[in-house]
Structure 1
Amino acid sequence: MTDMTAATPATPDAAKVETPFQRFRSEFFESRVATFALATFGVIVLLAVLAPWITPQNPYDLAQVDVMDGRLAPGSEAFAGYTMWLGSDGAGRDLYSAILYGLRISLAVGLASGVIALLVGTVIGLVAAYAGGRIEAIIMRIVDLQLSFPASLVALMLVAALGKGVDKIILALVVAQWAYYARTVRGTALVERGKEYVEAAQCLGISKARIVFRHILPNCMAPLIVVGTVQTASAISLEATLSFLGVGLPQTEPSLGVLIANGFEYMLSGRYWISVFPGLALLFTVVSINLVGDHLRDVLNPRMRK
């Protein structure tokens, strides 16, 4: 008797649907440069967070600083008995400790100003795109006026008027950066506003606020992430520049810009390490963030790939 049972083809195990997050993760880690940059930035953040526990001194606690240790070369032994692997600055502070404490302030200023500027610029850009008409025209003229000046000049004028301090420089950086986010969000939201799902939501009587923040905003996140990484790196560089010029953070606040400025006068005398090592820390931080941002742009917008 012939067996008439048809063989059921086996379903291949490989036929699995990737989630958007899995697809994004696989595409991002395809680049070795971006992976290395992300790992470098992760190490920098970890060192900054753990600074109080992995450094031999608090460089801004006068009780732990000895002026007899001033301008020691890398590898020298401090008066307290520990080795200063990166040397010391003119005030006798261990440079390794000062750099890690400076990273804490520089990262905090850059991230705080970036997040606040993103929130302010996103709200203003969404209002301009969805309201349209005279409101959009007024907002975009203000944005164009702000972007016609370099961000460094805007921040410099504000810090000069407000004075020194962490809160002052964060406010200055927010004012100098919010327009970049507003223009990015407004351009993306204008495209989304004309799509069918927005028109359908309007026909269903959904409120404008819900349409803007629940439907349009999620589709603006991809360019915002890219702009956010680039502007965070820019904020860290700008804070270091202002502190180097003496109008940013005071000498009592650890910052990479302050450390570079402290060693500038000793460069010609051969004590290069006082400025070079903080400068390298700033360079690695900014470059790693920019490399991650560049690759995020390629992953989130395939049309921008080289």
Structure 2
Amino acid sequence: MSAPANKQSYDLPAAGLRKFWLDFSESPTAVIALFVFLIILFIAIFAPWVSPSNPYDLTSVDIMNSRLPPGSEDFSGNFYILGTDGAGRDMLSAIFYGLRVSLGVGALSGLVALILGASVGLSAAYFGGRFETIMMRIVDIQLSFPSILMALIILAAFGKGVEKTIIALILVQWAYYARAARASALVEKNKEYVEAAKCLALGDKRIILSHIAPNCMAPLIVVGTLQTAHAISLEATLSFLGLGLPITEPSLGLLIGNGFEYMYSGDFWISIFPGIALLITIVSINLVGDQLRDMFNPRLQK
């Protein structure tokens, strides 16, 4: 037994998918942002194939090509549309690979944080009592601290690395999902279809996963979209400060940090172009998330 359909539910097969797209396309800005993000996602996934070269293959990097300005050509006839960095790597290829790492870290940490936070929030709302009080106080305490401060403390204690950065982002993000899941579950758990499921003697786990959770996905999708952008920017900040990813796993933040020392010598492109790529990525995700928030929240609809 599931919740009755209403105007704000999008059962994404068939007519629901068409209605979802019609509502989403009411904002031309969101459609453009989605198109831009899909291009970025395509580039990130297929970076080894669409990049002019592998910037981290030592056999294809020549230190003599260090800091070539945009539009330059080396002695071998290779053209660098965005120039090269201090190590002689093609900036366009480095940005493509950086997008791959940044999106991967942001998406993976967001997915795990969503599963963890939603599990805590749904369980707290459903069971209530002392368990809900303890878990929500933990969430409140964590949300009272800035995310960047918590991530810095975690990475300063455990060191930098891909796995450690992902774990730090998970620990920083899960509380946002827990609060959103609990708020939605508190509304759903007292509805008739949940009471009917309890009368049928269905187990608590089945009621939470099969009945309450599907009807709490709308706000979690919105939070997940916005938190993914936040995770990407947070990882970039940590890598820029030298506490995030190692040099062997380059991200956009690390590329910006590597080029910062050359800013005063006039080699602006080494930091500027990765920064523009990071900005476009975060803005496109946020614009899509804003439109989803307007769609799923009746109070924000026109």
Cα distance in 2 for residues equivalent to 1:248 and 1:98: 17
Cα distance in 1 for residues equivalent to 2:202 and 2:109: 33
Q: Identical aligned pairs, as a percentage? A: 63
Residues 159-174 of structure 1: pairs in structure 2 closer than 5 A: 159-174=155-170
Q: Equivalent residue for 1:100?
A: 96
Q: Which amino acid aligns with 1:57?
A: S
| Contact preservation (8 Å) 1:106, 1:236 | yes
TM-score (norm 2): 0.93
Q: Does 1:55 align with 2:87?
A: no
CA deviation map 1:227-249 (0-9, x unaligned):
00000000000000000000101
Range 84-93 or range 44-53, more displaced: 44-53
Q: Does 1:69 align with 2:28?
A: no
What's the C-alpha RMSD, in Å, of the aligned pairs? 1.1
Q: Equivalent residue for 2:7?
A: none
* Corresponding residue SS for 1:56: coil
Q: Does 1:35 align with 2:52?
A: no
Q: Which amino acid aligns with 2:294?
A: D
CA deviation map 1:183-235 (0-9, x unaligned):
00001101111111111111121111111111100110000000000000000
Range 248-257 or range 113-122, more displaced: 248-257
Q: Equivalent residue for 2:232?
A: 236
* Corresponding residue SS for 1:251: coil
* Corresponding residue SS for 1:248: coil
TM-score (norm 1): 0.92
Q: Which amino acid aligns with 1:185?
A: A
Q: Equivalent residue for 1:110?
A: 106
Q: Equivalent residue for 1:144?
A: 140
CA deviation map 1:119-161 (0-9, x unaligned):
0001011110111000100100110111011111111111111
Cα distance in 1 for residues equivalent to 2:150 and 2:74: 42
Q: Equivalent residue for 1:46?
A: 42
Cα distance in 1 for residues equivalent to 2:40 and 2:55: 18
Cα distance in 2 for residues equivalent to 1:240 and 1:28: 29
Q: CA deviation at 1:21?
A: 2.0
Structure 2: runs of 5 or more not aligned: 1-13
Cα distance in 2 for residues equivalent to 1:211 and 1:50: 40
CA deviation map 1:151-181 (0-9, x unaligned):
1111111111121111110000000000000
Range 75-84 or range 125-134, more displaced: 75-84
Structure 1: runs of 5 or more not aligned: 1-17
| Contact preservation (8 Å) 1:86, 1:94 | yes
* Corresponding residue SS for 2:39: helix
Q: CA deviation at 1:39?
A: 0.2
Q: Does 1:133 align with 2:129?
A: yes
State how many pairs are aligned.
289
Q: 9, 22, 26: which is aligned to 1:26?
A: 22
Q: Equivalent residue for 1:218?
A: 214
Q: 152, 173, 180: which is aligned to 1:184?
A: 180
In terms of Rg, which structure is larger? 1
Q: CA deviation at 1:304?
A: 1.7
Range 108-117 or range 57-66, more displaced: 57-66
Q: Equivalent residue for 1:123?
A: 119
* Corresponding residue SS for 2:89: coil
* Corresponding residue SS for 1:173: helix
Q: CA deviation at 1:61?
A: 1.4
